[in-house]
Amino acid sequence: MKKVAIIGGGATKCGKREATWRELVQEAGKAMFDNVDNISPKDVEALLVGAAQPERFVFQVHVAPMVAEHLGITPTKVIATTELMCASGQAAIRYAWACIASGMADVAVALGVEKMFMPDMAEAQTNMTCVLDREWDGVNAMSAPPFFAMTAQRHMHEFGTTKEQMALVSVKNHHYSTMNPIAQFQKEVTVEKVLQSLMISPPLNLFDCSGITDGAAGVFLVPAEDAKKYTDTPMYIIGSGQASIGNAVNNLASITEWVPLKLAVKEALRTAKISVNDIDIAELHDCFTISELMEYEAFGWCAKGKGGKFIEDGEPYIGGKIAVNPRGGLLGCGHPLGATAILQSIDILQQFRGEVSRGRRVKGAEIAVAHNLSGAANVHSLMVYSRG
Amino acid sequence: MGNIEFEKIKRPENIKLPHMLDFYPLEDEKSTRISQFFKNLKEGRLTTTKCKECGNLLWPPRIICSGCLSDKLEWVDLGVEGELYAFTEMKAGPPLGFVQDVPFCIGMIKIGGLLISARIDDARYEDLKIREKVKLKIVELEDGRVFYRFRRIG
Ligand SMILES: [Zn+2]
């Protein structure tokens, strides 16, 4: 297997955008090509498009050829859309990586996109109800907020986690997103503000939930041996892990412990030949505040059930035990499903290059992980990136 | 250049709820091989499939066992009383088709060795408690299809 590098990328501003799906693709595509010298659309041999629900949000399928058409790409090796709901963008990165690592292609693009704002937001919410098993869980209105609300309720019940501790995740990630110019949310929040925000699905308030977001982003992948032809500062894929257990609520390994994440972490560390203490930046999937607390636990940065205490002690801040979501996370940046993992990877690349603003820069960072969960947290996907 | 035609066109004002936005499964024999589940439900029985080879209790109901891949399955009763494992209330952001019901409670219920999700009727979030007993309730749609919910016993 060849070592693979990410040599650059570009993204749109995220949020409620006055732009269509295909315009988001064009904005991200232009930003992506503008970011790397010596590469043109005609060089791209493999195109993987991460898109979770274009058939629902914009009533369009067969979207990878549309992306290719709008960016002047004419793939000769691989073209496909990748769907893994909230991890669709990471699926695109993973398959683009496999295309390069296997020697099948020499230049691959992973581009993620989601247009989630619709004229009637109840329709957008409907789309989120076919993510879990639609006939047996979705039918009960089990979209993401109720599922994660019950996860939070059980975590509070079993481990004494508090709403204030959960709110601290939102406070931290909104703090970092104020320094991220493409983030959806640019304002600080306080614990009080989180607790007073609209109750969505108790115990989750609005600011415990990541947003509905429009956005797109793309990156280039090439063999590591070619990377310096394009940039002095590539980043490398050094490991990965991905695990899935069950799907319907009855068949999950556990509600309060994400066993597939523990497996994915173990595999990611094994393949990258690192220990968890070698990680300098963790871009974790904070779709809800409770998620990030459970992720501290699954990575082993703190004991099971102690995620709340971990953030109370300031440990997931820059300068603490591990810098978690210095990008601003999904809570601060928004969560344009298919684009999220690509946005994470671009921000990590910019961290390695020292291009992010000082207030959220992780100095001397060498190794980063990017994590996405999807569905009923039954699937966890992890990439490990390194600067050198 | 002045004779370009402009015409207003009409689309139907009401469209029948399309199947793709209907959350409830099709349940007749022509549509599914687990129609027995819904027949049992019409009799007030919550059932599922159990593997005769390895004994696995399967949910949702299946036509093969995901444990041993046998297709020798039988229908077993799960009982009509369950225990609340977790619950929440849909207060904001409901999907289409649920808007008129807001607020309503949703739970994960331990019943007959399973953990299943279901609507909890006749309750507000503040009323419910973890481990509270709940009882099976059947709802019937306009077209005769049925589905299960739960309600408080007290
Ligand atoms: Zn079996």
Going through A263-310 in order, the beta strands assigned E by DSSP cover 281-283
pLDDT at B16: 81
Rg (Cα) of chain A, in Å, rounded? 19
Complex ipTM: 0.95
For chains A and B, what is the number of CB pairs under 8 angstroms? 105
Measured in angstroms, the CA of B144 and the nearest CA of chain A are apart by 16
Identify the pLDDT of residue B88: 98
Question: How far apart are the C-alpha atoms of A384 and A345, rounded to whole Å?
Answer: 10
A246: which 2 tokens?
A: 């069950």
At residue B19, the pLDDT reads 79
Of the partner residues B25, B90, B96, the one whose CB lies closest to the CB of residue A146: B90
Nearest to A14 by CA among A87, A91, A116, A118: A116
Q: Report the greatest alpha carbon distance in chain A.
A: 56
pLDDT for position B1: 66
**Distance from B59 to chain A by nearest Cα, in Å?**
7
Torsion of CA A241, A245, A248, A253, to 10 degrees: -120
- Distance, CA of A207 to CA of A155 (rounded, Å): 18
Q: How far is the CA of B49 from the centre of ligand 1 (A)?
A: 10
Cβ–Cβ below 8 Å for A248 and B60 = yes
Residues 6+ apart with CB under 8 A from B77: B45, B46, B47, B112
In the beta sheet, which residues pair with residue A109?
Answer: A47, A220
- What's the mean pLDDT in B21-28? 90
Calculate how far, in angstroms, residue B41's C-alpha sits from the geometric centre of ligand 1. 24
A125 and B90 within 8 Å at the Cβ level: the answer is no
Residues of A taking part in catalysis: 86, 335
- Cα–Cα distance for residue pair A387/A354, rounded to 1 Å: 11
Give kind and range of the element (H or E) at residue A385.
strand A379-386
Q: Are A336 and A14 in contact (CB under 8 A)?
A: yes
Q: Is residue B136 scored above 70 in pLDDT?
A: yes
Residue B104, min C-alpha distance to chain A (Å): 10
Restricting to A residues 282-341, those with a Cβ less than 8 Å away from any Cβ of B are: none
- Residue type for position B101: D
Q: Within a 13 Å sphere around the CA of A76, how many CA atoms are in the beta-carbon half? A: 8
Question: C-alpha angle with apex A28: A23 to A34, nearest 5 degrees?
Answer: 125
A212 φ, ψ (degrees, to nearest 5): -85, 130
Whether A253 has its CB under 8 Å from any CB of chain B: the answer is no
Q: Which pLDDT score, from 0 to 100, does residue B116 have?
A: 98
A342 Cα to chain B: minimum distance (Å) = 27
- Candidates A133, A202, A206; nearest CB to B125: A202
Tokens of A46: 């493999």
Query: Helix-strand-coil percent breakdown of chain B, rounded to 5?
Result: 10, 35, 55
Which helix (DSSP H) or strand (DSSP E) does residue A24 occupy?
A: helix A21-35
Q: Report, as an integer, the average pLDDT of B104-118.
A: 98
The Cβ-side half-sphere exposure at A289, using a 13 Å CA radius, reads 32
DSSP-derived 3-state class of residue B51:
strand
All residues of chain A having their beta carbon less than 8 Å from the beta carbon of residue B85 are 154, 255
Q: From ligand 1's centre to the CA of A266, what distance in Å?
A: 30
**Cβ–Cβ < 8 Å for A95, A82:** yes
> What gap in Å lies between CA B10 and CA B20, rounded to an integer?
24
Give the torsion through C-alpha atoms of A122, A126, A129, A131, to 10 deg. Answer: -120
DSSP state of A214: B
Spacing, Cα B56 to ligand 1 middle (Å): 5
Q: Which residue from A188, A105, A139 is spatially nearest to A360, judged by alpha carbons?
A: A188
Task: Give distance in angstroms: CA of B69 to centre of ligand 1.
Answer: 6
Flag if B94 and A122 touch (Cβ within 8 Å): yes
Interface membership of B87 toward A (CB under 8 Å): yes
Do the beta carbons of residue A379 and residue A237 sit within 8 Å? Answer: no
0.90 exceeded by the pTM?
yes
A130-189 pLDDT, tens per residue?
A: 999 999 999 999 999 999 999 999 999 999 999 999 999 999 999 999 999 999 999 999
Interface test with B, best of A117, A199, A201, A208 (most B CBs within 10 A): A201
CA of B53 to the centre of ligand 1 (A): 5
Residue B22's pLDDT band (cuts 50, 70, 90): confident
Read off the pLDDT of each residue in B127-151 and give the average, rounded to a whole number: 97
pLDDT in tens, chain A (388 residues): 999 999 999 999 999 999 999 999 999 999 999 999 999 999 999 999 999 999 999 999 999 999 999 999 999 999 999 999 999 999 999 999 999 999 999 999 999 999 999 998 888 888 999 999 999 999 999 999 999 999 999 999 999 999 999 999 999 999 999 999 999 999 999 999 999 999 999 999 999 999 999 999 999 999 999 999 999 999 999 999 999 999 999 999 999 999 999 999 999 999 999 999 999 999 999 999 999 999 999 999 999 999 999 999 999 999 999 999 999 999 999 999 999 999 999 999 999 999 999 999 999 999 999 999 999 999 999 999 999 8
Find the Cα–Cα–Cα–Cα dihedral A296, A388, A218, A357, rounded to 10°: 70
3-class secondary-structure state, position B18: coil
- Are A71 and A41 in contact by the 8 Å Cβ rule? The answer is yes
| Residue of B106, B120, B132 to mutate, interface with A, max A Cβ within 10 Å | B106
Ligand 1: distance of its center to the CA of B62 in Å?
11
**Pairing, β B114-121 against β B146-152:** parallel
Handedness of CA A211, A213, A218, A221 (dihedral sign): positive
Write out the two tokens for A11: 């993204």
A143 touches chain B (CB under 8 A): yes
Facing residues of A110 across strands?
A48, A219
Q: Compare CB distances from A125 to B60, B93, B119 and report the shortest one's residue.
A: B93
Give the Cβ contact number of residue A344 at 10 Å. Answer: 30
On whether the CB atoms of residues A91 and A83 are closer than 8 A, the answer is: yes
Rounded Cα gap, residues A324 and A360, in angstroms: 11
Closest residue on chain A to B59 (Cα): A250
- On whether the CB atoms of residues B102 and B150 are closer than 8 A, the answer is no
What is the signed CA dihedral for A334, A335, A339, A342, rounded to 10 degrees? Answer: 70
Q: From the candidates A57, A117, A139, which should be mutated to test the interface with B, based on the most B CB atoms within 10 A?
A: A139
Nearest CB among A128, A199, A249 relative to B91 is that of A199
Neighbouring-strand partners of residue B89 = B105
Q: Which residues of chain A have a CB within 8 Å of the CB of B93? A: 121, 125, 143, 145, 200-201
Which architecture, in CATH terms, is A4-120+212-229? Answer: 3-Layer(aba) Sandwich (3.40)
Q: Which residues of A221-242 are buried (b: 16+ CB within 10 A; e: fewer)?
A: bbbbeebeebbeebbbbbbbbb
